[in-house]
């Protein structure tokens, strides 16, 4: 049996919810949903709401809530990805998509010393849409928050409350005294990955002054988007999120 179609709404405060905008257009025009269709509504609270379409109008449909429950696919530990925005829009979308699938809670974009790309409101809205679509595809209850910081320092300071702060850079040596930062992780994590130009030594020193530990991703130089996915995957594994998914009775499926 196929999964019920999933839709994001701003908030759910009653037993009747109105679906409008792009979500309505997708439900009505693409999926051809009609009165009696069973769907799942998401409000980014971590809860999921079973609903039945009760009426369909020209620009909206009404959904009657018949039950709610706490979603079981959200990671128990918060992971934030701080990613240096790159020029290629497809690469930024790739990072957002894969980080969402891996369970990242927030994706903070920033510009650094060697960055040559810029972010505007349209680009940010596009990435938020990618995050929502990816969250629905992988059956998450929440879509990651997408934020933008104009400087590396402001992005680093935004994660000051995280228990682990990891800063990936190619000139950090994994055999240094603090080179085991990826082992035995516990608690919330902030992961920093640079853009195409990488980081300067001054930026690394800034990160260390704010409590970040350097981490190495091996001897090979990785593209920014590869490094982001690789680091997020390793951290999720070390935090036990992959094991937690299996123990809950949910078995991931490969989806095209």
Read off the tokens for 200: 């300067």
> How far is the C-alpha of 190 from the C-alpha of 216, rounded, in Å?
15
Which H/E stretch holds residue 63?
strand 61-70
- Higher-pLDDT residue of 169 and 130 is 130
Instruction: Give tens-digit pLDDT for 180-216.
Output: 677 778 899 999 998 888 899 999 999 999 999 999 8
Burial class (CB in 10 A: 0-12, 13-18, 19+), 254: exposed
Q: What are phi and psi of 85, to 5 degrees?
A: -60, 135
Closest CA to 73 of 162, 143, 126, 173: 143
Given a cut of 70, is residue 253 above it in pLDDT? no
Question: Are 7 and 27 contacting, i.e. CB atoms less than 8 angstroms apart?
Answer: yes
Structural domains in the chain, CATH included, are 5-70 (2.40.240.20), 79-245 (3.40.1280.10)
Instruction: Give tens-digit pLDDT for 14-52.
Output: 899 999 999 999 999 999 999 999 999 999 999 999 999
> How far is the C-alpha of 100 from the C-alpha of 219, rounded, in Å?
27
- Please give the model's pTM, rounded to 2 decimal places: 0.88
> How far is the C-alpha of 85 from the C-alpha of 116, rounded, in Å?
9
Instruction: Give tens-digit pLDDT for 50-88.
Output: 999 999 999 999 999 999 999 999 998 999 999 999 999
Q: How far is CA 33 from CA 36, 60, 137, in A?
A: 8, 12, 18
> How far is the C-alpha of 26 from the C-alpha of 30, rounded, in Å?
5
State whether residue 226 is helix, strand or coil.
helix
Instruction: For residue 65, give the DSSP letter.
Output: E
Instruction: Give tens-digit pLDDT for 96-128.
Output: 999 999 999 999 999 998 887 888 999 999 999
Give the Cβ contact number of residue 210 at 10 Å: 14
Q: How far is CA 128 from CA 57, 125, 132, 233, in A?
A: 27, 5, 6, 21
The two beta strands, 16-19 and 61-70, are antiparallel
Closest CA to 104 of 135, 148, 64, 70: 135
């Amino acid at each position: 049996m196929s999964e019920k179609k999933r839709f994001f709404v701003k908030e759910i405060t009653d037993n009747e919810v109105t679906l409008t905008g792009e979500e309505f257009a997708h439900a009505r025009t693409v999926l051809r949903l009609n009165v009696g269709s069973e769907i799942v509504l998401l409000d980014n609270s971590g809860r999921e709401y079973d609903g039945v379409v009760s009426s369909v109008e020209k620009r909206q449909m009404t959904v009657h809530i018949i039950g709610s429950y706490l979603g079981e696919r959200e990671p128990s530990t918060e992971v934030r990805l701080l990613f240096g925005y790159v020029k290629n829009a497809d690469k930024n979308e790739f990072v957002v998509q894969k980080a969402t699938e891996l369970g990242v809670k927030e994706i903070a974009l920033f510009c650094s010393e060697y960055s040559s790309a810029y972010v505007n409101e349209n680009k940010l809205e596009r990435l938020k849409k990618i995050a929502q679509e990816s969250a629905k595809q992988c059956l998450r209850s929440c879509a990651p928050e997408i934020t933008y910081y104009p400087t590396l320092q402001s992005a680093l300071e935004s994660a000051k409350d995280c228990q682990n702060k990891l800063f990936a850079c190619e000139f950090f040596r994994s055999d240094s005294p603090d080179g085991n930062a990826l082992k035995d992780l516990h608690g919330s994590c902030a992961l920093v990955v640079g853009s195409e130009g990488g980081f300067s030594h001054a930026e690394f020193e800034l990160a260390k002054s704010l409590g970040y530990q350097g981490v190495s991703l091996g001897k090979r130089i990785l593209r920014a988007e590869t490094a982001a996915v690789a680091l997020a995957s390793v951290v999720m594994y070390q935090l036990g999120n992959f094991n937690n998914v299996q123990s809950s009775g949910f078995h991931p499926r490969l989806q095209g």
